[in-house]
Amino acid sequence: MYVSLAAPVAPVAPIAAHQLLIFLLQVGLLLLLALVFGRLARRLGMPAVVGELFVGVLLGPSFLAHVAPGLSTWLFPQDSAQFHLLDAVGQIGVLLLVGITGIHMDMGLIRRRGATAAGVSAGGLLVPLAFGVGAGFLLPATLIPAGTETLVFALFLGVAMCVSAIPVIAKTLMDMGLLHRNVGQLTLAAGMIDDAFGWFMLSIVSAMATTGLRAGNVLVSLACLAAVVIFALTVGRPLVRHAFRLTSRNEEDPGPSVATAAVLLLLAAAATHAMGLEAVFGAFVCGILIGSAGGVDPARLAPLRTVVLSGFAPIFFATAGLRMDLTSLTDPMVLLSGLGILTVAIIGKFVGAYAGARASKLNRWEALALGAGLNARGVIEVVVAMVGLRLGILSVEVYTIVVLVAIVTSLMAPPILRWAMARVEQTAEEELRGNEQLAWARQSPTNGSEPL
């Protein structure tokens, strides 16, 4: 009798010393410069993400590759395995960031102002979506990556045009003292609906890009999305609640709660990714469950929020900037296309939100303020653009244009909001809400920290 023994499997070799050195230098340098330029951007009245993206522009093909090509090649070698190490850190960061955005969504606000918010959101979604799809069909074919269906490209551009950025909107409203105003509350509620629709559409278009335009594949994707939503509404909420009850028994140590939140967000992202949907959709849905399940003290998750916003997220945005190539804008065709997309993005969002607000019986100044707030694309559009680049739907030129749209629209919001809201009288209800928020802020142990 002979027993066949399989040859022992050799262990996987650890990361090479030079590769590890480059990775550590990349992460350390990107985080350092993201901190410096992020703080500088805030001092100048701009969102921190502008400074963090600028770091990537500074160290990427737009600047360093031209000024010091030798240093650029050594520090950021054109080696996919090396760059994927940095990508992995950035992907964890963006999944946790989107999850935290979901945690901060106030579902009660949407229920209270649902009808008006839905009207504003519908206009702010459908008009820019249509404008973006139309622009996608009109752009020169040379800007569409080879092998990408024009319909998929156009739909993806439409999704990029219709999203809003809750983190940027919330920060802008807080900084300007408008969060307690009815317009501020409606902007957040409509922005939340925009975000949810955006992740939904992103998953659909991403599935179309990876599995093709066949009707059967689209139906499968829709079925998977429906399954995720049904699971979240039935099994997901009690599951999340039970998980946090088990890990929150030690009231002094928030560590288990932070780890539980991170595990749930990453596993939810993995689940939707395995289903052929976007990983960020799973993280977003799970974040909403964590925030609305009950029994989860937000203060216990503060360490996770700090690590993500101060560490992982800046690395992600700096990495996103590394893929921008502003030199492509020297091509007149690319520049004209970029100006066209920016114009379409701004007009589409303003017209849509304004029309939706007026149809909901708001006055013109309130409608204008809502258009300005929802026009801020910020971090959400950067995430969408990164997904498009990763899937091969966007070329580097269009990716650069879309990220610039996110920056420009975020910078436009504060001055227009300030101008419009100066013409809207404050009601007694708004004044009461403002006093309550001010009292809460004075008692909050996190007062003074930058909101998400």
Q: What is the pLDDT of residues 309-360, one digit of tens each?
A: 888 888 888 888 888 888 888 889 989 999 999 999 899 888 888 888 888 8
- Read off φ and ψ for residue 236, nearest 5 degrees: -60, -50
pLDDT (0 to 100) of residue 343: 92
CA distances from 215 to 194, 220, 227 (A): 26, 9, 18
The Cα 60–Cα 76 span in angstroms is 8
Dihedral over alpha carbons 387, 391, 396, 399 (to 10 degrees):
-30
Say what the pLDDT of residue 22 is. 92
Answer whether residue 386 shows pLDDT above 90: no
How far is the CA of 56 from the CAs of 85, 124, 325, 377, 446, in angstroms?
16, 31, 10, 19, 30
- Whole-number percent of the chain with pLDDT over 70: 83
Query: Which one has a higher pLDDT value, 104 or 429?
Result: 104
Of 334, 344, 318, the closest CA to residue 394 belongs to 334
DSSP label at 46?
Answer: S
pLDDT band at 433 (very low <50, low <70, confident <90, very high): low
| Cβ pair 99, 285 in contact under 8 A | no
Threshold 0.85, pTM exceeds: no
Give the end-to-end CA distance of the chain in Å, rounded to a whole number.
68
> DSSP readout, 368-387?
HHHHHHHT--HHHHHHHHHH
pLDDT of residue 339: 92
State the pLDDT at residue 447. Answer: 41
Q: Which two tokens stand for residue 143?
A: 């800007």
Higher pLDDT, 276 or 373: 373
Average pLDDT, integer, range 393-416: 85
Using alpha carbons, list the distances in angstroms from residue 12 to 9, 28, 360, 365. 9, 26, 61, 63
Predicted pLDDT at 105? 66
Distance CA 384, CA 379 (A): 9
More confident residue, 290 or 203: 290
210/387 Cα distance (integer angstroms): 12
Across 131-287, the runs of DSSP E, i.e. the strands, are: none
Output the CA torsion 329→332→333→339 (10° steps).
60
Please, are residues 257 and 301 in contact by the beta-carbon 8 Å criterion?
yes
Most confidently modeled range among 98-102, 292-296, 415-419, 425-429 = 415-419
d(CA 413, CA 408): 9
Q: How far is CA 192 from CA 163, 240, 253, 391, in A?
A: 10, 21, 31, 25
212 pLDDT tier (thresholds 50, 70, 90): low
| pLDDT at res. 86 | 87
Question: For 358-376, how does the pLDDT look when each residue is reduced to its tens digit (9 = 90+)?
Answer: 888 888 888 888 888 888 8
User: Per-residue pLDDT averaged across 66-90, rounded?
Assistant: 86
Q: Does 443 have pLDDT greater than 50?
A: no
DSSP 77: -
Q: Measuring CA to CA, which residue among 346, 324, 391, 380 is closest to residue 153?
A: 391
